[in-house]
Structure 1
């Protein structure tokens, strides 16, 4: 495969493996596959020529090919070892069970000896608890290989005219990985269904939320185009398009006589054809499922790289500029309006106000208020070189404590976090609204609402569990929300509105504490609840809206990744289950925090009570 796209054309790098069943020469098979563009091969690490009767005390020394047929670097980079397919440690027949157990242990031990990166095993029935126990015992003993569990993407019973059961192979996989405690080294390999068994969108969504390592594609599923080249049907291409988003690998299974070079070439072509390189895809590249702690902008000065990320999103500032334009266009007084940008950062909203002033040919009196001394340094330079002190008055202070020489007609801010209020926009704007003219002063944004949705993402669950800082307990990391660009996930239901805040708020007593119970479902298929994802919708002015809610997301806007509120343990959901969650926003004199708990289908303890593991500081 090409190391890069020299033409500058955007494509998704495709990793292809070749299934090679007991080749006569493993070295020749590997080098041939590598020469044709494959990245690895899947093959048995034992060999049928070596008979192994492990029940006899004088069993032969031979297990399989000697490890000397390949270099150590080839074994541990290029080989996925398939375990013997007729192993059945869960058999009802004691003899079969005993022989299978001995064989399995020997092959897993041989895999450790060879140093191969992954072993592939097949699930052929729903009950695999003994198999899971043996595999898990190697995992907890710190075996270095990953475990690839192969199941049909759609079980053949779905379309079989003689089957009286509708078997869900996802259940086989789910039961197995539960027994292995959701170990991140256990992934699933899916057999591509034939054209008569294409899964529903819901089924694909569920698999997209799983740790899928590879998709097996038999060559018999390929069609022949007018040029005599192999191609996949539109339906199969759509399946691959969905999995491209989570970077799965593809295993070509030669079940027909064919030149396998053409299949690699075609898969690389699909990587270019099916890859949707939109603005969001370019912006988030490398950030997929990466955990970030939410910002603490009131107590920690933002750094240059954070401001740069904010400012890359021109769509957001275009929407803000539209809101400012609409507000100024409705200005009817003869005097010049007073506009204050609070939390001005490095000045993108200041520039937006000046742009509108030019577009409407209307002079404005503009203040830029910022407390970060290093951002103020940038603002001062922009005032001196770009804007002019006659256009912009720079104020270095906290918006909540500044005593202005005059009242503002319009207050503009971009204090929203991934959850709307999680960077304390309500507290900041409530403190700054005394800068506004009473009764007629305008706040941009005027209101914002947080949204919540149930989520399945074992990837995120394992990222939280595996990346615990040394100074935090496991409980603390699961009681902390994270900002994440979600990729390997399934949203289990549409997001629902949670908390709403409006500005200005001239109520005699302002209480920004909130509590709400949300009910989702019933879910239509079995799945796993691991967390809740948070989004927001903000009305800036009139009908000008910014949204990260998936159903109303502002097109091409890349700011604000979702926020994820974890559960301490994954919760198994059956088809028809309802998910009910209670959520609180609480505060004290110096901090704000969230608490949450599951009420249905089971009750959980309340997460993050009194903000013990996570809170947002006010000062």
Structure 2
């Protein structure tokens, strides 16, 4: 069964392709743009621009304060012990004045991105520098927030080598978040420490403290590709995944391995920053990007909340802006002086003024920016949104939905309508049904249809081929009923068709469909399929003779295959399937797992936990998108691994014996030795798995992604013994295109972890999961452990989650 529902929070796409919002940043800019300058930047085509919060006057004031403090300490006759006294008072930066900033509230303030001073050093080894930097950060963030900016970029640390100082940086960011509760803070970091990718210029720590592009080795083998991500993970973990904390990534000239690219893809990206050095010249001498950079941009722009792009130091610079403004001013003066003597110019003068205005407008508009133009070209060249990237589906990206309770609740018509919007699923079902009918006809199997009562000779028009008894259980609004009828016509196999539905509201809809669409040929039964007594043979209604079902068709599958109790439902109805030739469609289904990093959704669950105590115990249905699959495919340890399988029909003689003795009464629980002393009648649907995944690069795990695959029907072998491919559906990312391309009926399921697990390099992740039941409900339990090898025969556990259980939000039978 599909898992989609209405989503009021969706913001639709603006066109048939992702839109690029491109901003301009000048690292040499020391003053905020005036309204006129900002207007000039917009005329170049940019959507926004950055602005420094404070200016050189403030920088000089802070430097002078630091130097005067050090000089004062040096001038005092202090002993070494007095100098080391932690209670020795330090300097405090006075509040900002209007001489310290040119950023003020104004009409453009909400489209200005504030930029904290790059000369502060929150990562400094010197406590004095770190303290002054923290004070500057708090003053700037508080003031920019007051002015009304929506986001503030904070330069990240320029190194990642000292864990203590990294925590010091993270603590400063945590404090700054409290200064601007309604403003987004964005930590800017390089994708990795590529030489020359960090901020330029000296910090309060002084020159030569951090390596420069010329002093750092350029060989990729000498660079820790994941150190910058480690810094980000430390910062956001200290800030408890604050929803107002984002990251801006500087794109390197040489892109790293795809695992690191997808790692950043899963993070809360707000900006992608491109410097001029990232671009290369094409044959015509214009800037361009290589194929790998184009692929990265196209991947990131597919996010529902796609990052904005910032072009850094590619113009227009201060001189270009001044030149544009001078041209604009001169044109305005010339226009004002033309024909100024007459209030009502002649037609000739008016025509002359019009030509002059057009000429002046040509000079007023800037020539454009080649880097900006190239990115807009890339925007136009993107692949259009595919059929499965509709606005509705995109709105569901990374949006949590509670699992359906199809047995306990009655679905609404709109929910059924969403299910029916996926032709791929129903095409596969129809293909499976038709193949089953064709095999039945080809192999001349016996059917369950009885001779009609009182009829010695077949009446005129009666089918010459024996009829198949087909039942659609859980018919909903009838899409599978329609597909059975179509398959019957296509194969020439007549059917006696039964449709069962427990939802009394959907039953009304089925009655109408039977009259208007199906010609009254369908036997409609309003009942829970588990309580159905079986089909009454046509022509034997008076006697109530019950026969068997040749083909049973259901669509009870959930996001994890069995999570909507398909096994339990089929247990209750499969006793009506004819033996030994009866067919269940689907024939089998398997559940699959893979560990994932999912920071965005983990942050949301953290926020929900205060009002929902079961937020981290619920298996959420979610359109997984901004995720990082942390496991790699290695021999014997695939990235997606099967947890368990269910196959139908299965003979359950003890259940049949129970029904024979007691009738269709609900089973009473208690008194047995099964789970929670239940009677154990559902114990055969309990499952357990223990899976091992290999995670090569270090990272973090937030939970488990769950998928399913189903064999709807396996065609019978041909006369020569050859076997056709099974007819399947799959939601596994590595199999869906091969088995059921563009199918959208099911979103995956997500089993969260209360506490993220850090994965060292070359770690092994062991997943234990149980499907549990007490004869009244079904739930899951899951636990994750992390191991590393310390020797050829020595493995050490380095982390483990608690045992999670969804029992309190179990699916009711």
- TM superposition score normalised by structure 1: 0.92
- Quickly say closer, same or farther: Cα 1:164–1:273, change in 2 above 3 A: closer
Match of 2:777 in 1: 591
Match of 1:310 in 2: 419
Aligned equivalents of 1:466 and 1:384: distance in 2? Answer: 50
Confirm or deny that 1:581 pairs with 2:776. Answer: no
Which of 486, 492, 496 is the equivalent residue of 2:630? Answer: 492
Match of 2:617 in 1: 479
Alignment map for 1:463-612 (pairs within 5 Å): 463-468=604-609, 470=611, 472-473=612-613, 476-493=614-631, 494-508=639-653, 511-521=684-694, 523-542=695-714, 543-553=726-736, 554-601=740-787, 602-608=799-805, 611-612=807-808
Task: State the Cα RMSD in Å.
Answer: 2.5
1:92: Cα distance to partner? 2.1
Alignment map for 1:166-181 (pairs within 5 Å): 166-168=224-226, 169-181=228-240
Confirm or deny that 1:376 pairs with 2:548. Answer: no
- Residues 590 and 617 of structure 1 are in contact (CA less than 8 Å); yes or no, is this contact kept in structure 2? yes
Residue by residue over 1:66-124, the C-alpha shift from the partner in whole angstroms, topping out at 9 and shown as x without a partner, is 554x41x532x212211111211332224423332332222222223223222212221
Match of 2:492 in 1: 361
Aligned equivalents of 2:220 and 2:558: distance in 1? Answer: 55
Confirm or deny that 1:235 pairs with 2:243. Answer: no
Residue by residue over 1:145-200, the C-alpha shift from the partner in whole angstroms, topping out at 9 and shown as x without a partner, is 22211111132159715995535321222222222222222211111111xx2211
- Residues 12 and 275 of structure 1 are in contact (CA less than 8 Å); yes or no, is this contact kept in structure 2? no
- Residues 323 and 544 of structure 1 are in contact (CA less than 8 Å); yes or no, is this contact kept in structure 2? yes
- Quickly say closer, same or farther: Cα 1:145–1:347, change in 2 above 3 A: same
Match of 2:549 in 1: 408
Aligned equivalents of 1:513 and 1:166: distance in 2? Answer: 45
Q: Which runs of 5+ in 2 are unaligned?
A: 1-10, 67-90, 196-215, 318-366, 447-464, 537-546, 632-638, 655-681, 715-725, 788-798
Confirm or deny that 1:205 pairs with 2:314. Answer: no
Q: Which runs of 5+ in 1 are unaligned?
A: none
- Residues 219 and 256 of structure 1 are in contact (CA less than 8 Å); yes or no, is this contact kept in structure 2? no
- Quickly say closer, same or farther: Cα 1:593–1:25, change in 2 above 3 A: closer
- Quickly say closer, same or farther: Cα 1:97–1:329, change in 2 above 3 A: same
Whichever of the two has the greater Rg, that structure is 2
- Quickly say closer, same or farther: Cα 1:178–1:241, change in 2 above 3 A: same
- Quickly say closer, same or farther: Cα 1:301–1:469, change in 2 above 3 A: farther
Aligned equivalents of 2:93 and 2:423: distance in 1? Answer: 74
- Residues 54 and 103 of structure 2 are in contact (CA less than 8 Å); yes or no, is this contact kept in structure 1? no
- Quickly say closer, same or farther: Cα 1:433–1:79, change in 2 above 3 A: same
Query: What secondary structure is seen at the aligned counterpart in 2 of 1:280?
Result: coil
Residue by residue over 1:530-566, the C-alpha shift from the partner in whole angstroms, topping out at 9 and shown as x without a partner, is 0101000000100111100111112111110000000
Match of 2:100 in 1: 64
Match of 1:153 in 2: 191
Query: What secondary structure is seen at the aligned counterpart in 2 of 1:238?
Result: helix
- Quickly say closer, same or farther: Cα 1:469–1:175, change in 2 above 3 A: closer
- Residues 225 and 256 of structure 2 are in contact (CA less than 8 Å); yes or no, is this contact kept in structure 1? no
- Residues 407 and 437 of structure 1 are in contact (CA less than 8 Å); yes or no, is this contact kept in structure 2? yes
- Residues 115 and 144 of structure 1 are in contact (CA less than 8 Å); yes or no, is this contact kept in structure 2? no
Query: What secondary structure is seen at the aligned counterpart in 2 of 1:387?
Result: coil
- Quickly say closer, same or farther: Cα 1:122–1:599, change in 2 above 3 A: same
- Residues 88 and 100 of structure 1 are in contact (CA less than 8 Å); yes or no, is this contact kept in structure 2? yes
Alignment map for 1:332-481 (pairs within 5 Å): 332=444, 333=446, 334-389=465-520, 391-404=521-534, 405=536, 406-468=547-609, 470=611, 472-473=612-613, 476-481=614-619
- Quickly say closer, same or farther: Cα 1:5–1:131, change in 2 above 3 A: closer
Residue by residue over 1:448-478, the C-alpha shift from the partner in whole angstroms, topping out at 9 and shown as x without a partner, is 00001101010010122223584x32xx111
Alignment map for 1:183-332 (pairs within 5 Å): 183-194=242-253, 197-225=254-282, 229-246=286-303, 247-255=306-314, 261-282=369-390, 284-331=393-440, 332=444
Query: What secondary structure is seen at the aligned counterpart in 2 of 1:52?
Result: helix
Residue by residue over 1:463-499, the C-alpha shift from the partner in whole angstroms, topping out at 9 and shown as x without a partner, is 22223584x32xx111011111112111122111012
- Residues 254 and 260 of structure 1 are in contact (CA less than 8 Å); yes or no, is this contact kept in structure 2? no
Which of 119, 139, 144 is the equivalent residue of 2:152? Answer: 119
- Quickly say closer, same or farther: Cα 1:162–1:135, change in 2 above 3 A: closer
Aligned equivalents of 1:547 and 1:138: distance in 2? Answer: 46
Match of 1:15 in 2: 21
Confirm or deny that 1:42 pairs with 2:50. Answer: yes
Query: What secondary structure is seen at the aligned counterpart in 2 of 1:198?
Result: coil
Confirm or deny that 1:26 pairs with 2:34. Answer: yes
Match of 2:177 in 1: 139
